[in-house]
A and B are shown apart, each in its own frame.
Chain A
Amino acid sequence: MFRDFFDRAHWFALGGLVIALFYLLFFSPVDGSTVRKQDKRLELVLQEKARIAFLLETYAPVEELAAAGNRAAALLKLEELERDFPGEAHASILRGSLLLEQGAIAEGIAAYVLGVRQNGDYIDARSLLGRHREITALVEAELPLIKVRVEKSPNSRTWNEALNNIYYLQSRLAGGCE
C-alpha cells in the first residue's frame, strides 16, 4: 500500500482530490443552483422586455391613429390585428379606451375587464404595461354615473352588468385578485 514513492504519491493525490471536492461542495462561493436561478431570472426579464417591446411596436399604428383623433380607424386597425393575435389582453385594453372615448360606456368597461382578466399586469401600478392610473380614473368617473343609471332602471340587465364590471375593476385596483 505505501511500499514505494509511486504508491504514496497516489494516496497523496487522492486525498487532495477528496479535500478539494469537499471544499467545492460545502464552501464554494457560487453554487450551481444560484447560477441556474440567475439564468432563469434573466430569461424572464428578457422575455418580459421583449414582449413589451413587441406589443408596443405591433399596436403602435392603433395608438398613433387614436392620438390623431381617428378613433374609428384605430378600432378598425385593432380588428385587423385581432386576426393575427386573437384574444390579446393589450388589444382589449386599447379597445376599452377607444370605446369609452366614443361613448360606448358599458362595452368599454367590459373590454377593460376582459383585458385585466387576461393579464393582471394592466392593473399593476409597477408594471411597464400597467394602466393603473387610467383605470382608476375610469372607475372614479363612471361608477357614480352607472349607479344613477341602475337606480333609474333597476331591472336593466345591461346596466347591472356594467355596474358589476366596474365593481370588479374597483376591487382589482384595491388589490383583490380573481
Chain B
Amino acid sequence: MSLGIKFILKSVAGLVLLLLTGSLLAGCDAVKERPKMRIGYMNCNSEAETRARFGPLNEYLSQKLGIDFELVSVDTQEFAERFHKGEFDFTHTNSLLYIILREQKNLRLLATEKRGQYGPRTAGTLISRKDSGIKTLADLKGKYLLFGPQLAPSGFLAQYDLMLQAGINPEQDLAYYGIPRGSFKHEKVVYGVYFGKYDVAAAPALDLELMIRDGKITADDFNIIAQSEIFPYCTFGAARQIPDELAEKFRMLLLDLTPESTVTYQSETVKVLDSAWIDGFAQLEDADYDPIRRMAKNANMPPYQEF
C-alpha cells in the first residue's frame, strides 16, 4: 500500500472517530440538559394499578414539556409527609389531600380530573340493601357500617359528615364501623352490603356508577339512604417553587387532552386518557373545594384536626 493511500485511510478513520466522539458528547449534553422532576401519584388501589394507569400520561407530559418526569406512586397516608420533605414537584391526589397540601404548603391548583356523570366532581353516598328496610339516616343507629379508606373524601369524609349533620355520631351511635383491608376498598364496601355482611356502606357515587356501568350491580340492588353535596374529584397540583410558566404549561397540556390524544409508551401507541381512566380535565378554582373544607372541619379531620 502506498504512503498516499495510507495517509488518506488514516485521515478518514480519524475524521470518523472525531465525528462519533462529537455526536456522543453532544448526546450526553442533551440528556444532561433535560431536567428531571418527580410527580407523586396517590395510590387509589395499588402501586401496580397506579403505574399502569398513569404511566402513559406521565410519559406524555415528559415528552411535551421536555422534562423527565419520574412517576412516584405514593401511599395515601404517607403523601403529606413525603410532600413536606420536598419529594415531589407535582402532585396527583384526591381533593382532601389537595386541601391538606394547600393549607400546609400552599400547593398550587392545576386541573381537576373529569370522570363519570358529575364530571370534575363526585359525591359520597350511604347505601343499604334494597330488602334491608334501612332507608333513612335515622335508621342507621345501632347498625353495622363499612367505610372506605380514612382519607377518601367520597368514601369516608362525606359520609361521616352526612351522619354528623343528621345528629348521628358514628363513634357512638353505630353498633360498629370498620374499614376493609387491602386494595379495592371502595368495591369491597359495596360488596360488603350486597352480600349482607354489613347493614350500610359508605360508597363513592362514582364507584356505584362504574359498577352499574360494568353490570356488576344494578341500581335496584340498593337504597340510597343519603348522598352528600358534590365536591371536586382527583386533582393535579404544583409545588410552590415551580415557576409560574411551567405550571401554566403543565395545566394547559392537561386541559388540552382529548380522547384522541396518544403517546408512544413502551413501544406502543396508546390513548392517554383511556389508559388513565379519565374523561378529561377541568379548570376549577380553589374556592370550588370549600365543601371539602367544611366537611373536614365538621368531621375534625386534617388539615383542621384538633385534639
Contact = CB atoms under 8 A, between A and B. Distances in A.
B117 A107 contact: yes
A109 to B, nearest CB: 11
A104 B230 contact: yes
Contact of B213 (A71, A79, A103): A79
Interface in B194-235: 205, 208-209, 212-213, 215, 218-220, 223-224, 227, 229-230
B213 A107 contact: no
Contacts of B282: 106, 157-158
Contacts of B255: 157
A76 B215 contact: no
A29 B117 CA distance: 58
Contacts of A159: 283
Interface stretch (B22-30, B93-101, B118-126, B144-152): B118-126
B284 interface: yes
Interface string B110-150: 00000001111101010000000000000000000000000
Contacts of B212: 76, 79-80, 83
Contacts of A60: none
A100 B118 CA distance: 10
A155 B285 CA distance: 11
Contacts of B125: 72
Interface magnitude class on chain A: 20 to 34
Contact of B285 (A83, A99, A153): A153
B219 A77 contact: yes
A102 interface: yes
A172 interface: no
A112 to B, nearest CB: 14
B117 A106 contact: no
A58 interface: no
B110 to A, nearest CB: 12
A156 B218 CA distance: 37
Contact of B224 (A73, A80, A99, A106): A73
Interface of B: 117-121, 123, 125, 205, 208-209, 212-213, 215, 218-220, 223-224, 227, 229-230, 255, 282-285
27 contacts: A71-B227, A72-B224, A72-B227, A73-B219, A75-B117, A75-B209, A76-B208, A79-B209, A79-B213, A79-B219, A80-B218, A82-B213, A99-B118, A102-B123, A102-B229, A104-B119, A104-B121, A106-B119, A106-B282, A107-B118, A107-B119, A153-B283, A157-B255, A157-B282, A158-B120, A158-B283, A159-B283
Given A73-B224, A79-B213, A103-B230, 14 more contacts: A72-B205, A73-B219, A75-B205, A76-B219, A76-B224, A80-B219, A102-B123, A103-B229, A106-B119, A153-B285, A156-B283, A157-B255, A158-B282, A158-B284
Interface of A: 70-73, 75-80, 82-83, 95, 99, 102-104, 106-107, 110, 153, 155-159
In the A-B complex, list the 5 residue pairs whose CB atoms are closest, starting with the nearest: A72-B227, A107-B119, A76-B219, A73-B224, A77-B219
